[in-house]
Amino acid sequence: MIPSLPRPLWLRASTACYVGAFLVFLFLPLIVVTVFAFNDAPYPAPPWRGFTLDWFTGNASKERVGLFQDAQLLGSIGTSCLVAAWVTLLSVLIGTANAFLLERGRFPGKQALSVLMLAPLVIPGVILGISILAFASRIAEFADDAFGWDLDFLRPGLPLVVLGQFSYVATIATLTISARLRRFDGTLEEAALNLGATRAAVFRTILLPYLRPALVGSSAISFLMSFADFNTTLMLVGADSPLTVMMYGRMREGATPTLNAVSLFLMVASGLLALTLIRRAPRRPSVAA
């Protein structure tokens, strides 16, 4: 339909209803979680019993341990941040190398490799986690039986969680950086080389600034995806539980509004991260009339 043409009343009304229903479906659960993080009741659901900050600041003396007094929850947040930082670092580094390999390299089987790199995105996280756990366990057992090596990092634990998350997050980083690199004007690189610049200088002064938005964006996506991952993490986790696994265990034991407080804290942190990235994003220079 041509946007400039007038639309009938029924179409405008149905469009408004659709948009309204979509926004309600999207934001109503978040609003409910936010409101009942301050509910003065020992359960994270209606009815409303009054306003309180106990689920953020409460301690054992009040028989309500809040988020900022819960050592286990705070420790799980720190564990998730540690895992996400390693996954982000590895994903961006390997994703950058993969992007140059796929966009600049010429070798047999390049198309097949490009397709195979997408496989982790379509494999369910549970299956991916079980496969990595079984494979790593077999390697650890073989190394122990054949050479007497105790490869603890291949046992369930944080190193294996990093490896499992990295196996699919790196694919997303590769696609993001490859899309940016594909639009790069190669004549700029050729001109710098012709003027005597080294390849390291060209990468540092031309390619890296050009790729910076993709690197920052892929870093943010990698961090958030790693932080929020549950299926793969559950299969590979050891004694140190990240936040998603910890919250799952708390939900099975009996949920309290502290979990709502955690959810609100993460929503605010994610929103601040998104706003920071938006404000720091490079703006296109305006063309003078």
The predicted pLDDT at position 186 comes to 83
**4 or 222: which leads in pLDDT:** 222
Q: Which two tokens stand for residue 136?
A: 């790593």
Residue 31 lies in a domain: no
Tell me the mean pLDDT in the region 228-244.
88
The predicted pLDDT at position 254 comes to 73
The predicted pLDDT at position 21 comes to 94
The predicted pLDDT at position 86 comes to 95
178 within 8 A of 98, measured Cβ to Cβ: yes
**Residue range of the domain that includes 158:** 78-248
Mean pLDDT (the chain, rounded): 85
Is residue 285 predicted with pLDDT exceeding 50? no
Nearest of 43, 238, 263 to residue 136 by alpha carbon: 238
- Per residue in 142-185, pLDDT (tens digit) is 888 888 888 888 888 899 999 999 988 999 999 999 999 988 88
Residue 266 lies in a domain: no
41 within 8 A of 32, measured Cβ to Cβ: no
Is residue 283 predicted with pLDDT exceeding 80? no
The predicted pLDDT at position 289 comes to 37
Domain count, the chain: 1
Distance CA 167, CA 119 (A): 10
- Per residue in 119-146, pLDDT (tens digit) is 888 888 888 889 988 988 899 888 888 8
Residue 68 lies in a domain: no
The predicted pLDDT at position 176 comes to 92
Give the CATH number for residue 161.
1.10.3720.10
Residue 213 lies in a domain: yes
The predicted pLDDT at position 288 comes to 40
Residue 233 lies in a domain: yes
The predicted pLDDT at position 2 comes to 58
Residue 21 lies in a domain: no
Distance CA 77, CA 243 (A): 5
Nearest of 79, 258, 244 to residue 157 by alpha carbon: 79
